[in-house]
Amino acid sequence: MTTRIDTCFATLKREGRAAFVTFVMCGDPDIETSLAIIKALPSAGADIIELGMPFTDPMADGPSIQAAGLRALKAGTTLKKTLDVVRRFRAGDNATPIVLMGYYNPIYIYGVDRFLKDAKEAGVDGLILVDMPPEEDEELCIPALKAGLNFIRLATPTTDDKRLPAVLANTSGFVYYVSITGITGSASADTAKVSAAVGRIKRHTALPVCVGFGIRTPDAARAIASHADGVVVGTALVDAIRGSLDASDAATPKTVAAVAELVAALADGVRGARQAAE
């Protein structure tokens, strides 16, 4: 099975550069603005889109992404509407990979079989479920793989060599390395430690390794992209959305442009990593 994610990384490998992976929360600040933001991401420089599934009790998200989830829920965003957004995005873009990121509870309520069928039909390529350890692979991971979706697992600084094989066993698409021991946006990534961690993970897998959490600026993205196969930025983009909203948290004419401009600057950082390393 070759997915859009596999095709994307194969193309980037030929180009000799890392992937730029963007995270935004679906429905933040409202469905139509969120769709407009997502549509703007590829042309601004995003190679892969992580789309958050808003949830009331996130365990890995810092204050910025928690607030984005609450704005999305307040705007009426549901899992069904999130899949509708993906379907509408796919009407104009059949190449950019989309990975849904979130927590298991909404999927459990929606129904696993129904969710996987609807997600695949909508054009979803992969899943990142923060609260699904490998010991629970039969619950969602294995069915997702059988449905043709990549299941991307998180590895962290505390995932040691003894634990890594279990984490990687059914991982596909890429490995998401969490660069800090904490929630999103709570600290900055240490490039030297990230480089060592990526090298250690690569001794266990041939999958691309993308690094997220703690990357906010083009310089930081460039530094991480010199050592990893991909760079994930989320909190900075969510903060750009928040900074463009009016006093009632509604979108303004600046909202989509604020995100697109930041994505373009970060993408330049990622694309400049190879030249900087030469």
Could you give the residue numbers annotated as active site?
Answer: 50, 61
Ranges assigned E (strand) in 91-148 = 98-102, 126-129
d(CA 226, CA 83): 34
Q: Which DSSP category does 229 fall into?
A: S
CB atoms within 10 A of CB 154: 20
SS3 212: strand
Contacts with 107 (C-beta within 8 Å, 6 or more apart), sequence order: 53, 79, 115, 129, 140
Contacts with 112 (C-beta within 8 Å, 6 or more apart), sequence order: 139, 140, 143
